[in-house]
């Protein structure tokens, strides 16, 4: 997939000679362009060369879905693929090593629309390169291999490398592959870059100037390791880890449909932060959330953790058929289990057998049945309905076992949180014809597909057993999926870039042995998240510079081989939190009810219906609550905070394990005109003016360093100083009115500050907060 | 100065081409692209920059149309809440004759009911208290509630045989706008932006405007996901144009500053960003510079298009007095025409308040008055400008309403519940047969008897008019190829010219 880009850029560059160019940008065509130049591998590998083709182009009609098989042919297994076909049983799609007898070859090369495969109307064409791969594969014996992700990880040998660039095993794996490809790793990043990177990745905040200075001063060998340990021990780390978990758990402060009434799930969010700050092992963390209520002598904390599976949307739209929606909730839990823990698209087997992966519709509903016996309602009765089953938390609990809950801002001193609970008698589950709620067919019971891992007989057939199954030694997916997400946090992309899909249609691992190595290490060392993050952070691979030469960009545009560290735009939340942090506005307080920072006036009211309630109109918070971290921003699902959505936040409608990273004009408008950023610019400028720095240059450096974690170079400093002077002239000429510009946002300026100078410096800080470097971590 | 400045900047970039070409085709290409037009890149799931959208003269994801297009743009007047077809378009005198009688079970035939009427033990039929008459050469029956639309009868194609799968607002509206009842898919306008790109680099190709009806001011809510980009690039999200101080969120410069402040800031940003790019080599930085320029141009072009001061009196007369009140349906219709003139691809209006469960006669009269004149004026206005030929106008809601009364039927009052099995909507413009009625329902207005049109059929037809084969505009996400029409959809050939 990385190759087409080169060709594309060639085309583009040529285009630019004329202004209104026609862009050749059909990605599939580009693949053709490039692959036609690519030579076939000597040995065709089923996993890497063949399966991506047959899964994507053939499985729709010749794959695992038994009911969709055309012409009696399935290419899913070798037995099926080599089978005799036709009434006479006289021909074969594939005869290993026999091209002439393999009708598959004839069909893929055919020009006759009645014979051609895939058929023209399917819109699934094969390229010449792909046809050649299939042909050579059959010539070489048409060997199959099991899907890599469905076999348990095995301990790989750590590769030997020529160069001495190894801090831990990660580097052996990465370097070995770089050497095979004739590439060399980048130099180490500067200390300023490194501390910025690790601070954002672990804590979601930029380093403070004293942290930067101390780190630079500390020339001991252990300086970096000490830094990592310090960062990992902060509550900022816990909040930052929890922020990702909010996407995965589809957390929100409203129910998500129609009038979108408020719900109270924030105590559950407080628990997540608590779990990360205690470094709860991943197996325990997940088990509590899936089945805390079923643990022997479950305590309130374990029960609260199961709120995870009540975070899905719930309707209160008068008139819906409750059962239709209750089924949706159970489906949502099933989908979430797949994406979050197994890296599988279980939802694709709701209406029929999975088209690409060995998950039958029956298996889908077996998973479903684990989550189907909750005494819940499909339809909430208005905004006051607490959504059975729930637990009540009073001050007593909040001072006891649930002491991590921040009840401070809650006037009632009592909250109810939705949790999971089993019905005394399980509700029967059925395969639903086409996935429709009122068409039950065969009854099914909790179970898991043998294609992944057969369900051990001795496990209870409930959510607790399911959690045990996830963490069974032979489960091939759980550890890989989890460790891949930790890698994604540190490198922007996972070793499997489709962190939500480890199935046949997912991306292949760039470093399969490394993934297995890490998965086993993670598991065998007690599912210790902090330890794994530290291990990754200590690798030379992680510590490289992001500098990219034209040559390297050309050879590895996607940075699959990691000959450089990735440069990543900060997330929606972190962009805002950084602005608050560097300006000193950030109010650090752990947990509690969600808060309402600035939001453009009227956007709730414009869409709101007649349902009323606390989500009908937006009343911004006051005081400190305006400046809390973004993880605490009130999340109304049907109208999520627009500045966040513009920066690719997840909508929290469904489980999401990876965000987009886009670059759009609306993002520019947010950073230029959002009062939050303007106010932060002013606060930052004020800090600079009241600091020890007396010169303009010194004050600009003050702000620049806080925003980018480094000092501006001479050219940058000269340029910003000149800009400051221009702004000063604008203020003096009344092109800028300081009393108005400086009044945006609630934060008040002391009267004794020179307003003209402050306005000019605020505009300078505003510019600095808009720099691409400021909103990136390199 | 802005235009000159931009051109100047572009020239600077072009001057640097020699350097870029020497350093790398890759970087050069991306950098130039992002500076010459709208940014066309996104990071894919695997992290690579790929071409994505387009700007003037540059195409979207489709390298060419699947067949010649009949229209260039769509104006979709969405009537949110479920307008009653029985008071507006589907004339059923039988219901007046049999008023108060129970809906025969043979007609209901097991149709599922919403939770709001499933508890009723009687389903008393009720006809429209508003008269219908035939209009134009086509003789189309239209209610007295819509006299202006009636006058345009020979220009519109009325479809009386729409049906849907959802019976409640949230899933039903989501289904119409995204092809799926559950949230998460891109909406129609996003699909078009992705597939066809934009023809105006200074305005978003998918714009949205909301208005609140007087029929039921405390109406059904809307959800921003209805114009969301789903899994497509966020460049394709619908951008709401608002009758507020900020016509687009975050559009206005900070108070107390001027255009020259903004221009200076952008120049300063571009200079520093570019310097960083020279050191680091990440093409995203160049793309960032281009996004700021695009934002700057939007700051001029959006207020320009929203400012209707120069519209002549006769135009206001056509659209009605509401057209002077920002945020009304009439004002939005006028804006829709102005956006269409700027080649905005997909212009979506939502008019709320059509959910008449009770008190229907009075409420629907007000609601119809909100939209009648302006809807008709929009057709006439486009026509007089020669734009109806290449614009598709659509008018309709998410489902219809029952032929029986919800709640008590009195001499003067009744309500109607949601009805998915049949409802009416109309289209006008390029490639649609004018002055026809398509599809028929039974004399009870309960079931379709002729030419049913499913929501996916409607969507397929809309894409067809834009030159798109609905089965071929796909986006691969989470291992599957998604499309607007999911796995269904037939083009309604009979209504096409």
Average pLDDT over residues B235-254: 94
Contact check, Cβ <8 Å, B273/A730: no
Looking at residues A646-673, what average pLDDT do you find?
94
| Unique residue bearing structure tokens 């009130």 | A634
SS3 assignment, position A92: strand
Q: What is the pLDDT at residue A409?
A: 65
Nearest-neighbour CA in chain A from B182: distance (Å): 9
- Mean pLDDT rounded to a whole number for chain A: 93
Q: Which of A218-227, A425-434, B40-49, B102-111 has the lowest mean pLDDT?
A: B40-49
Residues of A in Cβ contact (< 8 Å) with B48: 1-2, 5, 557-558
The boundaries of the domain holding residue B205 are: 73-249+288-495
| B65 assigned to some structural domain | no
User: Quick one: tokens of A532?
Assistant: 């794994």
CB contact under 8 A, A554 and B25: yes
Check CB contact under 8 Å for B183 and A606.
no
Query: How confident is the model at residue A6, as a pLDDT?
Result: 37
> Does residue A24 surpass a pLDDT of 60?
no
Q: How far is A278 from chain B (nearest CA, A)?
A: 32
Name the residue in chain A with its Cα closest to that of B212.
A606
Into how many domains does chain B fold? 2
The pLDDT score that the predictor gives to residue B115 is 85
Residues in B closer than 8 angstroms to A8, CB to CB, are 29, 50-51
Residues of chain A with Cβ-Cβ distance to B295 below 8 Å are 665-666, 668-669, 672
pLDDT category, B59, cuts 50, 70, 90? low
Which whole number is the average pLDDT over A651-656?
A: 94
Name which of B23, B264, B294 is nearest A726 (Cβ-Cβ). Answer: B264
Q: Is the pLDDT of residue A322 over 60?
A: yes
Residue A119 has what pLDDT?
94
| Interchain CB distance below 8 Å, B272 and A259 | no
Which of A327-341, B34-48, B93-107, B333-347 is the least confident region?
Answer: B34-48
Specify if B263 maps to a domain: no
- B50 in a domain, yes or no? no
**pLDDT tier at B135, thresholds 50, 70, 90:** very high
**Does the CB of B46 have a partner CB in chain A at under 8 Å?**
yes
Tell me the pLDDT band of A775, cut-offs 50, 70 and 90.
Answer: very high
**DSSP-H helix ranges across A386-447:** 395-399
Contacts of A715 in chain B (CB under 8 A): 275
Query: Is residue B138 a part of any domain in this protein?
Result: yes
Q: Do residues A92 and A84 touch, judged by C-beta distance below 8 A?
A: yes
Confidence (pLDDT) at B49: 35
Look at residue A17 and tell me whether its pLDDT is greater than 50: no
Decide if pLDDT at A488 tops 60. Answer: yes
Residue A612's pLDDT is 87
- Give the minimum alpha-carbon distance from B385 to chain A in angstroms, rounded to a whole number: 27
Q: A-chain residues within 8 Å CB-CB of B41?
A: 663
Flag the least confident range among A518-532, B4-18, B192-206, B377-391. B4-18
State the smallest CA–CA distance between residue A589 and chain B in angstroms. Answer: 28
In the structure encoding, which two tokens stand for residue A727, read together? Answer: 């702004």
Asked whether the predicted pLDDT for residue A14 surpasses 80, the reply is no
Contact between chains at B292 and A665 (C-beta distance less than 8 A): yes
Q: Mean per-residue pLDDT for B281-299?
A: 92
Q: In this structure, how many other beta carbons lie within 10 angstroms of the beta carbon of residue A440?
A: 15
**Distance from A29 to chain B by nearest Cα, in Å?**
9
What is the pLDDT at residue A375? 98
**Window 101-120 of B, Cβ < 8 Å to A:** 112, 114-116
Q: Are residues B27 and B87 in the same domain?
A: no
Shared-domain flag, residues B311 and B385? yes
Do the Cβ atoms of A642 and B244 come within 8 Å? Answer: no
For A189, nearest residue in chain B (alpha carbons): B280
Answer yes or no: do B410 and B490 share one domain. yes
* Shortest CA distance from A339: residue in chain B: B478
Q: How many CB pairs under 8 A join A and B?
A: 357
Of the pLDDT bands very low, low, confident and very high (cuts 50, 70, 90), residue A117 is very high
> Which residues of B fall within a CB distance of 8 Å from A607?
210, 221-224
pLDDT, residue A679, reads 98
Per CB-CB distance under 8 Å, the chain A contacts of B300 are none
| B247 touching A (Cβ < 8 Å) | no
- Residue B151: count other Cβ atoms within 10 Å of its Cβ: 16
Is B244's CB within 8 Å of A719's CB? Answer: no
Residues B227 and B326 in one domain: yes
Closest Cβ opposite residue A1 in set B48, B52, B294: B48
CATH of the domain at B191: 3.40.720
Confidence of residue B17 (pLDDT cuts 50, 70, 90): very low
Query: Quick one: B118 and B165 in the same domain?
Result: yes
Q: What's this model's pTM, rounded to 2 decimal places?
A: 0.89
B17 and B85 share a domain? no
The confidence band for B36, taking pLDDT boundaries of 50, 70 and 90, is very low
Using pLDDT thresholds of 50, 70 and 90, give the confidence band for residue A38: low
Is the Cβ pair A23, B40 closer than 8 Å? yes
Average pLDDT over residues A233-246: 98
B-chain residues within 8 Å CB-CB of A603? 249
B428 inside domain: yes
Does residue A179 have a pLDDT over 80? yes
Contact between chains at B24 and A553 (C-beta distance less than 8 A):
yes
Domain assignment present for B259: no
Residues B93, B3, single domain; the answer is no
**pLDDT over 50 at A281, yes or no:** yes
pLDDT computed for residue B199 by the predictor: 87
Q: What percent of chain B has pLDDT over 90?
A: 76
Ranges A80-84, A743-747, B61-65, B240-244: which has the least confidence: B61-65
Residues B175, B80 share a domain: yes
State the average pLDDT for chain B: 88
- The pLDDT score that the predictor gives to residue A34 is 35
Identify all chain A residues contacting B219, using CB atoms and an 8 Å cutoff: 609-610
Q: What percent of chain A is predicted at pLDDT more than 70?
A: 95
Arithmetic mean of pLDDT, A735-741: 95
The neighbour count for residue A439, using CB atoms within 10 Å, is: 11
Q: Which residues of A touch B220 (CB under 8 A)?
A: 258, 609-610
> Higher-confidence residue: B10 or A358?
A358
- Per CB-CB distance under 8 Å, the chain B contacts of A65 are none
Q: How far is CA A333 from the centre of its chain?
A: 18
Best of A349, A669, A707, A728 to disrupt the B interface (most B CBs within 10 Å) is: A669
Cβ–Cβ contact B259 with A under 8 A: no
- Residue B52 domain flag: no
The average pLDDT across B214-231 equals 90
B173 and B90 both lie in a single domain: yes
Tens of pLDDT, residues B410-440: 999 999 999 999 999 999 998 999 999 999 9
* pLDDT score for A164: 85
Q: Do residues B311 and B427 both lie within one domain?
A: yes
> What are the pLDDT digits (tens) for B157-172?
999 999 999 999 999 9
Q: Is the pLDDT of residue B8 over 50?
A: no
Q: Which residues of chain A lie closer than 8 angstroms to B248, CB-CB?
A: 669
Cβ distance of B48 and A730 shorter than 8 Å: no
- DSSP tally for chain A: helices H, then strands E: 33, 8
Q: Residue B199: closest CA among chain A residues belongs to which residue?
A: A20
Q: Provide the shortest C-alpha distance from residue B107 to chain A (in Å).
A: 21
B18 touches chain A (CB under 8 A): no
What pLDDT does B216 receive? 86
CB contact under 8 A, A319 and B116: yes
Residue pLDDT, tens place only, A376-409: 999 999 999 999 999 999 988 988 899 999 987 6
Closest CB to B261 among A5, A500, A735: A735
B10 and B149 part of one domain:
no
Residues B296 and B431 placed together within one structural domain of the fold? yes
CB-CB under 8 Å, B221 with A497: no
pLDDT one-digit tens code per residue, B301-343:
999 999 999 999 999 999 999 999 999 999 999 999 999 999 9
For residue B49, tell me if it sits in a domain.
no
Q: Is A664 close to B40, i.e. CB distance below 8 A?
A: no
Give the per-residue SS3 of chain B: CHHHHHHHHHHHHHHCHHHHHHHCHHHHHHHHHHHHCCCCEEECCCCCEEECCCCCCCCCCCCCCCCCCCCCEEEEEEECCCCCHHHHCCCCHHHHHCCCCECCHHHHCCCCCCCCCCCCCCCEECCCCCCEEEECCCCEEEECCCHHHHHCHHHEEEEEEEECCCCCHHHHHHHHHHCCCCCCCCCHHHHHHHHHCCCCCCCCCEEEEEEECCCCCCCCCCCHHHHCCCCCCHHHCCEECCCCCCCCCCCCCCCCCCHHHHHHHHHHHHHHHHHHHHHHCCHHHHHHHHHHHHHHHHHHHHHHHHCCCCCCHHHHHHHCHHHHCCCCHHHHHHHHHHHHHCCCCEEEEEEECCCCCCCHHHHHHHHHHHHHHHHHHHHHHHHHCCCHHHEEEEEECCCEECCECCCCCCCCCCCCCEECCCEEEEEEECCECCCEEECEECCCCCCEEECCEEHHHHHHHHHHHCCCCCCCCCEEECCEEECCCCCCCCCCHHHEC
């Amino acid at each position: 997939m990385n190759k087409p880009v080169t060709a594309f850029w060639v085309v583009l560059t040529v285009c630019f000679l004329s202004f209104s160019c026609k862009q050749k940008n059909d990605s599939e065509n580009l693949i053709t362009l490039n692959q036609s130049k690519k030579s076939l591998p000597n040995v065709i590998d089923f996993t890497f060369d063949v399966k991506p083709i047959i899964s994507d182009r053939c499985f729709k009609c010749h794959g695992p879905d038994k009911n969709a098989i055309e012409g009696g042919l399935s290419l899913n297994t070798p037995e099926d693929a080599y089978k005799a076909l036709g009434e006479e049983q006289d021909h074969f799609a594939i005869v290993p090593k026999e091209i002439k007898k393999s009708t598959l070859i004839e069909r893929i090369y055919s020009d006759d629309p009645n014979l051609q495969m895939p058929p023209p109307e399917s819109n699934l064409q094969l390229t010449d390169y792909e046809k050649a791969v299939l042909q050579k594969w059959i010539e070489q014996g048409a060997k199959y291999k099991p899907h890599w992700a469905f076999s348990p990880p095995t301990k790989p040998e750590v590769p030997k490398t020529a160069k001495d660039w190894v801090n831990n095993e990660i580097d052996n794996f990465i370097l070995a592959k770089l050497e095979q490809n004739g590439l060399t790793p980048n130099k180490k990043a500067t200390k300023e870059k490194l501390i910025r990177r690790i601070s954002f990745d672990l804590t979601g905040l930029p380093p403070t100037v004293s942290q930067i200075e101390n780190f630079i001063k500390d020339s001991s060998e252990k300086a970096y390791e000490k830094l990592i340990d310090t960062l990992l021990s902060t509550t900022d780390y816990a909040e930052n880890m929890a922020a990702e978990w909010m996407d995965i758990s589809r957390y929100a402060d409203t129910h998500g449909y129609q009038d979108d009434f408020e719900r109270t799930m924030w105590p559950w969010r407080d628990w997540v932060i608590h779990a990360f700050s205690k470094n709860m092992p991943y197996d325990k963390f997940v088990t509590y959330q899936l089945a805390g209520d079923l643990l022997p002598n479950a305590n309130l904390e374990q029960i609260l953790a199961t709120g995870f599976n009540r975070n899905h949307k719930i309707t209160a739209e008068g008139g819906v058929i409750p059962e239709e929606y209750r089924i949706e909730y159970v489906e949502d839990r099933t989908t979430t289990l797949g994406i979050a823990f197994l890296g599988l698209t279980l939802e694709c087997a709701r209406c029929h057998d999975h088209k690409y992966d060995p998950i039958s519709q029956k298996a889908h509903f077996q998973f479903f049945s684990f989550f189907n016996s909750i005494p819940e309602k499909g339809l909430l009765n208005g905004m006051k309905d607490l959504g059975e089953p729930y637990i009540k938390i009073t001050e007593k609990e909040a001072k006891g076992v649930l002491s991590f809950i921040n009840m401070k801002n809650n006037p009632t001193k009592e909250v109810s949180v939705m949790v999971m609970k089993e019905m005394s008698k399980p509700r029967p589950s059925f395969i639903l014809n086409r996935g429709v709620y009122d068409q039950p067919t065969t009854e099914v019971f909790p179970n898991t597909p043998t294609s992944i891992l057969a369900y051990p007989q001795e496990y209870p057939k409930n959510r607790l057993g399911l959690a045990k199954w996830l963490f069974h030694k032979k489960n091939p997916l759980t550890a890989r999926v989890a460790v891949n997400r930790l890698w994604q946090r540190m490198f922007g992309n996972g070793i499997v870039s489709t962190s939500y899909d480890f199935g046949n249609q997912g991306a292949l691992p760039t470093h399969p042995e490394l993934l297995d190595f890490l998965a086993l290490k993670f598991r065998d060392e007690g599912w210790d998240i902090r330890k794994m993050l530290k291990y990754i952070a200590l690798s030379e691979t992680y510590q490289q510079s992001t500098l990219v030469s034209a040559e390297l960009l050309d050879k590895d545009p996607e940075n699959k081989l990691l000959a450089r560290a990735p440069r990543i735009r900060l997330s929606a939340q972190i962009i805002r939190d950084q602005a608050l942090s560097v300006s000193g506005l950030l109010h650090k307080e752990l947990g509690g009810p969600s808060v309402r920072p600035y939001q453009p006036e009227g956007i709730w009211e414009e869409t709101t219906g007649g349902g009323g309630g606390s989500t009908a109109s937006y009343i911004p918070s006051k005081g400190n609550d305006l400046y809390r971290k973004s993880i605490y921003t009130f999340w109304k699902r049907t109208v999520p905070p627009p500045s966040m959505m513009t920066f690719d936040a997840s909508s929290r409608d469904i489980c999401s394990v990876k965000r987009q990273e886009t670059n759009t004009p609306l993002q520019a408008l947010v950073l230029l005109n959002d009062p939050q950023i303007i106010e932060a610019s002013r606060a930052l400028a004020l800090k600079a003016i009241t600091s020890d720095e007396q010169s303009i240059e010194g004050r600009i450096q003050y702000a620049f360093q806080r925003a980018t974690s480094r000092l501006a170079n001479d050219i940058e400093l000269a340029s910003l100083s000149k800009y400051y002077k221009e702004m000063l002239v604008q203020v003096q000429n009344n092109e800028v009115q300081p009393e108005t510009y400086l009044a945006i946002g609630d934060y008040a300026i002391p009267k004794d500050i020179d307003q003209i100078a402050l306005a000019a410096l605020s505009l300078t800080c505003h510019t600095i907060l808009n720099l691409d470097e400021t909103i990136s971590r390199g | 100065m802005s235009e000159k400045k931009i051109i100047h900047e572009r020239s600077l970039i072009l001057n640097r081409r020699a350097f870029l070409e020497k350093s790398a085709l890759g970087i050069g290409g991306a950098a130039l692209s992002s500076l010459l037009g709208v940014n066309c890149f996104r990071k894919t799931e695997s992290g690579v920059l790929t071409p994505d959208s387009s700007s003037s003269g540059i195409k979207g994801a489709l390298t060419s149309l699947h067949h010649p297009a009949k229209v260039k743009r769509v104006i979709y007047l969405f009537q949110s809440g479920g307008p009653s077809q029985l008071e507006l378009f589907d004339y059923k005198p039988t219901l007046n004759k049999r008023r108060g009688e129970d809906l025969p079970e043979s007609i209901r035939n097991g149709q599922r009911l919403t939770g709001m009427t499933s508890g009723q033990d009687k389903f008393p039929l009720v006809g429209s208290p508003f008269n219908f008459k035939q209009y134009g050469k086509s003789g189309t029956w239209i209610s007295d509630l819509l006299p202006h639309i009636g006058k345009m009868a020979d220009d519109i194609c009325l479809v009386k045989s729409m049906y849907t799968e959802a019976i409640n607002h949230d899933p039903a509206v989501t289904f119409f706008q995204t092809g799926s009842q559950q949230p998460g898919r891109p909406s129609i306008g996003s699909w078009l932006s992705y597939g066809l790109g934009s023809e105006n680099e200074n305005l978003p190709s998918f714009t949205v405007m909301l208005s609140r009806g007087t029929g039921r001011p405390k109406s059904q809510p809307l959800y921003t996901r209805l114009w969301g980009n789903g899994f497509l690039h966020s460049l394709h999200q619908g951008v709401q144009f608002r009758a507020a101080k900020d016509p687009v969120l975050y559009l206005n410069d900070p108070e107390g500053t001027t255009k020259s402040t903004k221009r200076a800031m952008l120049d300063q940003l571009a200079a520093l960003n570019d310097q960083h790019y020279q050191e680091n080599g990440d093409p995203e930085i160049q793309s960032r510079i281009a996004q700021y320029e695009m934002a700057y141009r939007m700051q001029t072009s959006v207020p320009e298009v929203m400012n209707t001061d120069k519209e002549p009196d006769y135009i206001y007369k056509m659209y009605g007095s509401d057209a002077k009140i920002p945020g009304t349906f009439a004002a939005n219709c006028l804006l829709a025409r102005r956006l269409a003139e700027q080649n905005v691809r997909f212009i979506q209006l939502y008019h709320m308040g059509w959910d008449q469960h009770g008190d229907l006669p009075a409420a629907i009269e007000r609601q119809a008055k909100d939209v009648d004149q302006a809807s008709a004026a929009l057709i006439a206005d486009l026509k007089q400008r020669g734009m109806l030929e290449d614009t598709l106008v659509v008018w309709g809601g998410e489902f219809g309403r029952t032929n029986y009364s919800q709640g008590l039927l009195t001499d003067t009052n009744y309500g109607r519940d949601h009805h998915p099995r049949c409802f009416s909507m109309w289209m006008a413009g390029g490639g649609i047969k004018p002055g026809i009625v398509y599809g028929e329902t039974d004399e009870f207005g309960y079931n379709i008897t002729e030419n049913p049109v499913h929501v996916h059929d409607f969507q397929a037809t809309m894409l067809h008019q834009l030159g798109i084969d609905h089965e071929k505009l796909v986006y691969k996400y989470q291992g599957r190829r998604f499309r607007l029409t999911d796995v269904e959809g037939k083009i309604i050939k009979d209504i096409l010219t």
